[in-house]
Structure 1
Amino acid sequence: MNAVSQPVAHTAAGAVRGEVDPRTGVRTWRGVPFGASTAITGRFRAPQPVDPWKGELDATRFGAPAMQGTFGLRGTVLGSEDCLNLDIVRPDTDDVLPVVVCLHGGTFVTGASHDKVLQGHHLTKATDIVYVSVNFRLGVLGYLDVRSLGDDCVANPAIHDQILALAWIKDNIAAFGGDPEQVTIMGESAGGAAVMHLMCAPGARGLFHRAIAQSPPPASVHSRIQATMWVRALTSRVGLPSTATLDDLRAMPAEDLVRAGQSMMINSKELLQFNTSFMPTIDSATLAEHPIDTFNQGKQAPVPMIVGTNSDEASFAKALYQTAGQRLRAARRALDVFDPDNAGDVIEAYGDVGQRGDFAALMGDAVFWAPTVIVATAHRMVAPTYMYRFAYASAAMRMLGLGAMHAADLVAVYGDPYATKAAKFDRFGSKETFEKVSELMQHHWGTFFHTGAPGEDWPVYGFRRDDRPGRATAVFDTGMHVEHDPKAEHRTAWESFDMREWGVNRVDFWD
């Protein structure tokens, strides 16, 4: 590999020719295949390695993302079942560098390796890494366990795809100047959950050495009976009888399955009770038990981890209901479906959840912060753990009442303030404070990529001792400061709440 305008790297399957990006000056290889097509006979099955090719593969264009709906009125479907490809970015040097593997978010149903905010050019240059962003199956094709229709499938195709990608990286990343013994997996939202799933998956053990989970929903896991419920809903929506088989689903156009899956999400009221159509399912191969149980038992990968959430994850929930009574009833329904015995104590800890702000705080904590604290508390027993809270929000976002909403941390970590849809609200504001926060986060993330620990002024999420308090949390706002055991009253209330089994009080679910 030479520092030329069209760098060539030699993988086990063949040569790939990339380019030096004329705008950012980094080397890029796009759409590099790591797995064979998952269409037709590959649908719902474990992925297979990519077949070798002859000559140089043109890797200057992004590959197809996973097939997914657009949630528009026309029912447009994007992507392909031939989606197992990845993008690689690195500085235009020949240095051997640590590797960072990005798993995109998108509620397990949307997203791509080349989402604008995740392309990684600025982050790569700021932290001196080899950056890899991965495509994997989504939604009905990646995150729905169809074993209730037959045994010739795997419960979690997406997790299998991610493990295959990590194995490919281990075998091939040296050709791009990456160090296969210094691999950090990193993701936000559903991508952050994917990081935790891989920490639990036996097949991923040894394929990575550090982990960063930003705003993960660790409790977002289907039980097998829950998955069966959604499979029945899917077959009904596509017009198949109750006796439908895997062969019937494989015979259908993938676009029809994706549209039906999108319809299930849009038209079902289950989302308001944290029962989304598509999530990984507990199985014997990838997730032997609920991730929270795996972490509590210390069975996860014992690697250093950065984990955290944003201050206003669910600020959009302020607009969901018109009255205080509706919000209070909605909060109770959402928590009762997990643990009706302890739901009241959690609600009481948040004060008046009939008020919009308290209701939104409860909903955001239920999905993101509370289970993340549980996981961090357990992980600190087996490996260094670093907790953070992202609290920075521009004047415009604060004025709109959105604050540091879900995904707001991405632009700071990736160093591109205009890369998300929310950025249009900030185009006319000052960028000085944002640049300071972004520089701080890239410093700590970059130090972690290289050493397995953030900067020295960010202490571990440790235990209380006579000489110091515990649960140190780095707070990124207009700068960075450390708080110890923030929101302790809320944390204590959640400690008795069991969020591992959805539907315990749903009679219709168990019938």
Structure 2
Amino acid sequence: MNDSSFSAGPVAATTSGYVRGSVDAELGIRTWKGVPFGADTAGPARFRSPEPAPGWYGVRECTTYGPPAPQPTYSWTDRIIGAEDCLHLDVVRPDTEEELPVVVYFHGGSFIMGASHEEMLRGFNLATSMDVVYVSVNFRLGALGYLDLRSLGGESAANPALLDQLLALDWVHDNIDSFGGDPHNVTIMGESAGGASVIALMCVPSAFGLYHRAIAQSPPISLLHSTAQSTLWARELVYRMALPRQTTVDALRRENAADLVRAGQSMMWGSGELIYLNSCYGPTVDGTVLPDHPLTMFHNGEQAQVPLLLGTNLDEASFSKFFYLRASARSRAALRLLSAFDPVNAADVLDVYDGAVSRADFAEMLADAVFWAPAVQTAAAHAATSPTWMYRFDYAPAALRWLGLGAMHSLELSAVFGAPEASRARNLSRWGGLDGLPEITEQMQSHWSNFIHHGNPGGQWPAYQAGTPDEPRRATKIFDVDTTVEYDPKSEKRRAWYDYDMLEWGTGRPELLAELGLADDDPWWY
């Protein structure tokens, strides 16, 4: 198509229309920002399954980032940023004509915050150092994306955000070749809530075939909503909006989006449920899009059979060392949150952490409950059917170690993305130095790149395999100043989690189940 307007920047054809990006000659990249993949989710579309982006005529300028999903700012005001017309993505690639593997990235942020274009996640360095087409996705968040409101009555989807991510993968499959990406070599990747999204998508049958490898960094795999949680949080949202108890989803569509986000933020911090490990937000097992709990599907071999690279950080929950002043309070809190899932085996788990009396033991127990123990079980299950590699990120600047924070949650992103200047800990890091970080960055980017291109991380990184009592395997790459491989790290603690049931939140809360009108022998999903 001959059109002089195409000459100002790289133009790609999508199923909705042409998009024009820009070239950064200094960085050696081409970028397309704010490319729509879905229609506006406001008004009648709120809480429903997403629709593809409507078409347009001419060439759409895609040189500025679009707004993220509506979300709080956690400032001294109650200002809300973002817009419901948020289903767009950003594409970055080296400034070459070569067809390259594709990385589709889902951001973290506790299912309530985050954006495709956070400084850390823009992917400029990642795209060039790993030689890939990098696609970072926006999707609905918080009360608008991660609440199952079907118990209120009216038409709604159980998993709006998960369906947004599925639609983005469909878009990549249909369009990425126009950006020089190989639709037959797609890796889905995410950290924290984004890592949980990766694991969830591996259990969405309609997503099978849309990607060919998966990378999940620090995924809170067990934080899925049960029927009890879905019902509780739907009622709580109505209460926080000061609406009648019989309010339906249709009525919530008429409310202001910012008010819904504020109400969602209020119930997250004001309900008192976090002490029971009851997060407001997360994917829901609905029996259709997500047929069963990912831990169950992995155990049964029903997940996507693709190579998987996953891992956690050594000090994921180090912030929790400052939660309780008294040792007895920490121990009671630990037993309370463990019992919310499995009151029978909670005490046995607590024993291997010496009752979680000390600050360090409490923080380790919480990190293992949310991140490490589910990840180890997932790795072992997946390794039975598909290639699997596991890592642990132990590296921390001296200042973070001195503060007792260590290799805290999300710290590994600096190395994977090669962007230490974008780290949230950058100010602290300056005081403690970053000795060893360039070497770790080179190692991790090399492993991640090899995995994306070839389906294995290469180098001295044995595949993860569940061993026997007499033959421990479970090879885990430990990234630190001196990178090593450990076999079956923390084996005693791993065995303690083996019988602990992470599937059904609310089992240890019979009084709440009764209040919600749910029998304690009801199935946990519907």
TM-score scaled to structure 2, two decimals? 0.95
CA distance in 1, matches of 2:335, 2:273: 14
Larger displacement relative to structure 2 (428-437 or 183-192): 428-437
Within 5 A, what are the aligned runs for 1:42-441? Answer: 42-441=45-444
Q: CA deviation at 1:431?
A: 3.7
Q: Which residue of structure 1 aligns with residue 519 of structure 2?
A: none
Q: Which residue of structure 2 aligns with residue 494 of structure 1?
A: 497
CA distance in 2, matches of 1:101, 1:74: 34
CA distance in 1, matches of 2:352, 2:146: 34
RMSD value, Cα: 1.6
Q: CA deviation at 1:330?
A: 0.6
The residue identity in structure 1 corresponding to 2:441 is S
Which stretches of structure 1, 4 residues or more, deviate above 6 A after TM superposition? 465-468
TM-score scaled to structure 1, two decimals? 0.97
CA distance in 2, matches of 1:462, 1:505: 33
8 A Cα contact 1:4 1:20, kept in partner: no
The residue identity in structure 2 corresponding to 1:32 is V
CA distance in 2, matches of 1:428, 1:490: 34
Distance 1:452 1:4, change over 3 A: farther
CA distance in 2, matches of 1:119, 1:310: 22
Q: Which ranges of structure 2 fall in alignment gaps of 5 or more residues?
A: 515-526
CA distance in 1, matches of 2:366, 2:434: 30
8 A Cα contact 1:216 1:368, kept in partner: yes
8 A Cα contact 2:68 2:115, kept in partner: yes
Q: CA deviation at 1:11?
A: 1.1
Q: Which ranges of structure 1 fall in alignment gaps of 5 or more residues?
A: none
Q: CA deviation at 1:381?
A: 1.1
Task: Name the SS for the 2:188 alignment partner.
Answer: strand
CA distance in 1, matches of 2:468, 2:505: 36
CA distance in 2, matches of 1:5, 1:89: 17
Q: CA deviation at 1:335?
A: 0.5
Q: CA deviation at 1:479?
A: 3.5
Q: CA deviation at 1:282?
A: 1.1
Q: What is the total number of aligned residue pairs between the two structures?
A: 510
CA distance in 1, matches of 2:206, 2:469: 41
Q: CA deviation at 1:244?
A: 0.8
Q: CA deviation at 1:269?
A: 1.3
The residue identity in structure 2 corresponding to 1:331 is A
Q: CA deviation at 1:456?
A: 3.1
The residue identity in structure 2 corresponding to 1:198 is L
Q: CA deviation at 1:4?
A: 7.8
**Percent of counterpart pairs with the same letter?**
54
CA distance in 1, matches of 2:39, 2:271: 34
CA distance in 2, matches of 1:321, 1:431: 31
The residue identity in structure 1 corresponding to 2:398 is A
CA distance in 2, matches of 1:5, 1:369: 48
Q: Which residue of structure 1 aligns with residue 24 of structure 2?
A: 21
Within 5 A, what are the aligned runs for 1:23-42? Answer: 23-42=26-45
Q: CA deviation at 1:407?
A: 0.4
CA distance in 2, matches of 1:404, 1:380: 26
8 A Cα contact 2:461 2:477, kept in partner: yes
Q: Which residue of structure 2 aligns with residue 450 of structure 1?
A: 453
Q: CA deviation at 1:80?
A: 0.6
Task: Name the SS for the 1:251 alignment partner.
Answer: coil
Larger displacement relative to structure 2 (390-399 or 21-30): 21-30
Encode CA deviations 1:340-385: one digit per residue, 9 max, x unaligned.
1111111111125111111100010000000111111110011100
The residue identity in structure 2 corresponding to 1:411 is S
8 A Cα contact 1:436 1:479, kept in partner: no
CA distance in 1, matches of 2:335, 2:163: 36
Q: CA deviation at 1:451?
A: 0.3
The residue identity in structure 2 corresponding to 1:235 is V
The residue identity in structure 2 corresponding to 1:398 is R
Q: CA deviation at 1:29?
A: 0.4
Q: CA deviation at 1:329?
A: 0.5
CA distance in 2, matches of 1:4, 1:319: 57
Task: Name the SS for the 1:412 alignment partner.
Answer: helix
Q: CA deviation at 1:237?
A: 1.1
Q: CA deviation at 1:7?
A: 1.0
Task: Name the SS for the 1:29 alignment partner.
Answer: strand
Q: CA deviation at 1:510?
A: 0.8
Larger displacement relative to structure 2 (221-230 or 299-308): 221-230
CA distance in 1, matches of 2:171, 2:197: 17
Q: CA deviation at 1:5?
A: 6.6
CA distance in 2, matches of 1:317, 1:149: 35
Encode CA deviations 1:204-234: one digit per residue, 9 max, x unaligned.
1110000000000000100123111111011
8 A Cα contact 1:103 1:187, kept in partner: yes
Task: Name the SS for the 1:418 alignment partner.
Answer: helix
Encode CA deviations 1:46-80: one digit per residue, 9 max, x unaligned.
00011111111111000111111112332111101
CA distance in 1, matches of 2:274, 2:469: 45
Alignment of 1:8 with 2:14, yes or no, is no
CA distance in 1, matches of 2:228, 2:354: 35
8 A Cα contact 2:397 2:435, kept in partner: no
CA distance in 1, matches of 2:25, 2:107: 25
8 A Cα contact 1:418 1:424, kept in partner: no
CA distance in 2, matches of 1:392, 1:4: 46
Encode CA deviations 1:287-332: one digit per residue, 9 max, x unaligned.
1111111111110000000010000000001000001101001101
Task: Name the SS for the 2:511 alignment partner.
Answer: helix
Q: Which residue of structure 2 aligns with residue 470 of structure 1?
A: 473
